[in-house]
Structure 1
Amino acid sequence: MNLKQLSELLGLSQTTVSRALNGYPEVNEATRERVLQAVKETGYRPNKAAQRLATGKAGSIGLVMPTAPDHYSDVHFGEFLTGLGEEAVRHDFHFVIMPADPNDEVGALRRLAISGNVDALFVAYMRGHDPRLPMLKSLSMPFLVHGRSFGSEPDYPYLDIDNEAAFYDAARLLLQLGHTRFALLNGPGHLDFAIRRKNGLVAALSERGLSLPEDCMSHTSMTDELGQSAMERFLQMPEPPTAILCSSTVLALGAIRAVNQAGLKLGEDISLIAHDDVLPHLKPENFSVPLTTTRSSLRAAGVRIAQRLIGTVKQDGPFPEQELWKTELIVRASTGPVPRQAQNVGGV
């Protein structure tokens, strides 16, 4: 069914039907509901090209995807996109994904913005002093940031979790259990979430007069292989750490493999807390020793960001400019008291 047929069925002009579908305020609510009911019953789908001509809107969210031969794909971003897509489907919005060299993201975002193919932009993997922000703020196009940019003035729309508080609270739990020798398995060191998680851990340690030496930190892409190799290095230290914080359950998967291969028992010889993005195929409660985690759903974040972007484009607001979500600390069996043999050894 096309627009003309739908309008004839309803006894309304094509202009009225089009305006009802696109949220124009001059169409009364009863007419809008009647049109939407007919759309549901007939399965009518608006022609995107015609809709764009009529409204000046593309019905699309744009994002740049860095890609290169040595660039890791990321299961975390896939889960986030699932949430973003889940909400976009509800509003018949599309994604326009522009692949780009990781060194040309600013240029790629600018080209995408002026292409006319998108109504709003989304950016992720925020860095300290992120160079994309000044360009985004110069555009007359809505945008939304997942995360924040450490060291930059927070004068832009974002949704983030309180990464610093998450790892501060996790470290406090381990300190209360008597641990003093800590190590951190973190994401890439230039990314905002990794900076803030490290700061949260360091802040908790400093309250007890402890520090985190450089050789007790690992900043890598978040894969299980890199988690395993970093953990193997920690375990080979003269006084290995007894408390580990991991920025992902994926890193934790490799770290625990190293712990098991060393003949150690998780939750007894060594305690571990991981950040849980609620990945459906890597549930912390299903590990052989259930993981203590800081938890916040990436999928839920994707849904919320889509709600805000699409709502802004459709002028359905108002929406908050900035949101900072608290994580949930869930205690399971991977954390326990400091081992007796480590109790009388000086801390780091």
Structure 2
Amino acid sequence: MNLKEFSELLGLSPTTVSRALGGYPEVKEETRRKVAVAAREHNYRPNRRAASLATGRAMAIGHVIPTALNHEMVNPVFADFLAGAGEIYAAANYDLILSVVADGDELRAYRQMASTGSVDGIIVHGPRVEERRIDLLRDIGLPFVVHGRAPVEPTDYNFVDVDNVRSFRRATDLLLDLGHRRIALLNGHEVMDFARRRRDGYVSALTARGVQMRPDLMFQGEMSEQNGFRAAQSMLVGPEPPTAFIVSSLIMAMGVQRAAHDIGLTIGRDVSVVTHDDMLGYLGNGEDIPIFTATRSSVRAAGRRCAEILLDRIAHPGAAPVQEVWESDLIMGASTGPAPPS
């Protein structure tokens, strides 16, 4: 069934049907519901090209990744975000356009997308401490949602973030309560805003308890299994090795587990580990009992929510910004225990 046939079935114009399915605000809610119900009953899926011609939209959302960060494309965290966002795009008949660009070429890519009209909006990934993309997207008028936050002014932009400061403070407090005092932090690149906030949560918890922060027990870099392994291996063979680790991703925590195993240590008994982002579609954290204690927040759910907000802002361009900061859950697993005797 094509758009014309489906429209005739409903007694509506093709433009009205396309706008109802696309979420345009000028379509009455009653009409929108009528079209949505009929589309489900008749298994109608509109042709994207026809929808684009009828609505004047590209029916596509852009995600721009610089080559310096193209490891994110095979990172389960990034893949889970795209899977969540993709569910919302598909339901609204939108395409996802993933553009990989040369380092430093992101701003040009955004300008080109705006000038060619190839996308209706943008999801901004990995906001940085020194962030330039938000101002540019404001200037060129492309609707956007940031996954995370950036310390920029004005702050009136759409975002969905996890309370990284509180998450890492809670994780550090847990280990301090268990008697640990030599607690290592394995973090992402601290040019990224989320990593800076995580470090701040860790440092604030140590400071509040009068525990000295040790730079030799802090690592920042790509959150890979190999980096987790190398950083933990180097720290564990030092003269004053850590008795616990706080790690910014489950993938990195697996590297810590491998390093501990290689020198005969048992996770949860000889050394404790708390990780973040353990809820990934194809990389689980155990079943009945979690392998790792974790601060958990669903990346897939964040992808869905960012997509929902962006599509709503495309349909309602004058609406107030949506700004959501999610709490993480502290999940107790088998990887934490009391600090071992000195």
Number of the residue aligned with 2:284 = 283
User: Within 2, Cα distance between the matches of 1:44 and 1:143?
Assistant: 29
Greater Cα offset, 313-322 or 227-236: 313-322
| Corresponding residue for residue 57 of structure 1 | 57
Is 2:245 the partner of 1:244? yes
The answer to whether the 8 Å contact 1:308/1:319 transfers is: no
1:104 aligns to 2:105 (yes or no):
yes
Moved more, 314-323 or 117-126: 314-323
| Match runs of 1:306-317 below 5 Å | 306-315=307-316
In the alignment, what sits opposite 2:331? Answer: 330
CA drift of 1:156 comes to 2.0
Change (3 A) 1:45 1:181: same
Shift of 1:270: 1.0
Aligned match of 1:305? 306
Does residue 66 of structure 1 match 2:79?
no
Aligned residue identity for 1:65: I
> Are 2:31 and 1:45 aligned?
no
Query: In the TM superposition, what whole-angstrom CA distance separates every residue of 1:154-201 from its partner, at most 9, and x where no partner exists?
Result: 332211001011000110111111111111111112111111111110
Q: 1:10 to 1:287 in 2, by over 3 A?
A: closer
Alpha-carbon distance, 1:319 to partner? 6.9
Unpaired runs of 5+ residues, structure 2, are: none
Q: Answer whether contact 1:159 1:305 (CA < 8 A) is retained.
A: yes
**Residues 25 and 262 of structure 1: CA distance in aligned 2, closer, same or farther (over 3 Å):** closer
Alpha-carbon distance between aligned partners in 1 of 2:252 and 2:25, rounded to the nearest angstrom? 50
> Partner residue of 1:78?
79
Q: Is the 8 A contact 1:59 1:118 kept in 2?
A: yes
- What residue number does 1:213 align with? 214
Matched-pair contact (CA < 8 Å) for 2:48–2:93:
no
* Per-residue Cα deviation, 1:23-72 (whole angstroms, up to 9, x for no partner): 55665555544443443343333333332232222221111122269856
Larger CA Rg, structure 1 vs 2: 1
Q: Distance in 2 between matches of 1:210 and 1:232?
A: 23
Q: Distance in 2 between matches of 1:55 and 1:313?
A: 12
Which residue in 2 is equivalent to 1:4?
4
Report the residue type matching 1:242 in the other structure: T
- Structure 1-normalised TM-score? 0.89
Per-residue CA distance 1:100-144 (angstroms, 9 max, x = gap): 013211221221222201111111111102121221221222111
Question: What residue is the counterpart of 1:130 in the other structure?
Answer: 131
User: For residue 346 of structure 1, what is the aligned residue in structure 2?
Assistant: none
- What pairs with 1:170-249 in structure 2 (closer than 5 Å)? 170-249=171-250
Is 1:148–1:154's contact at 8 Å kept on the other side of the alignment? no
Instruction: Output the CA distance in 1 between the equivalents of 2:216 and 2:25.
Output: 61
Specify the SS of the correspondent of 2:104: helix
Q: 1:219: how far off?
A: 1.1
Distance 1:22 1:229 in 2: 49
C-alpha distance after superposition, 1:297-340 (max 9, x if no partner): 00000010111111222239967521100111112221111111
> Against the structure 1 CA distance between its residues 333 and 135, is the aligned structure 2 distance closer, same or farther, given a 3 Å change threshold?
same
Confirm or deny: 8 A CA contact 1:181 1:243 kept in the other structure: yes
C-alpha displacement at 1:280, in angstroms?
A: 2.5
CA change 1:185–1:114 in 2 (3 A) is same
In 2 relative to 1, CA 17–251 (structure 1 residues): closer, same or farther, beyond 3 Å?
closer
Q: Which amino acid aligns with 1:314?
A: A
User: Residue 253 of structure 1 aligns with which residue?
Assistant: 254
- Matched residue count: 341
Cα distance in 1 for partners of 2:290, 2:160 equals 32
Aligned to 1:145: 146
Identity %: 45
Q: Distance in 2 between matches of 1:23 and 1:232?
A: 53
- The verdict on how the C-alpha distance between 1:147 and 1:58 changes in structure 2, with shifts beyond 3 A counting, is same
Which one-letter code corresponds to 1:52 in the other structure?
S
Tell me whether 128-137 or 315-324 shows the greater mean CA deviation.
Answer: 315-324
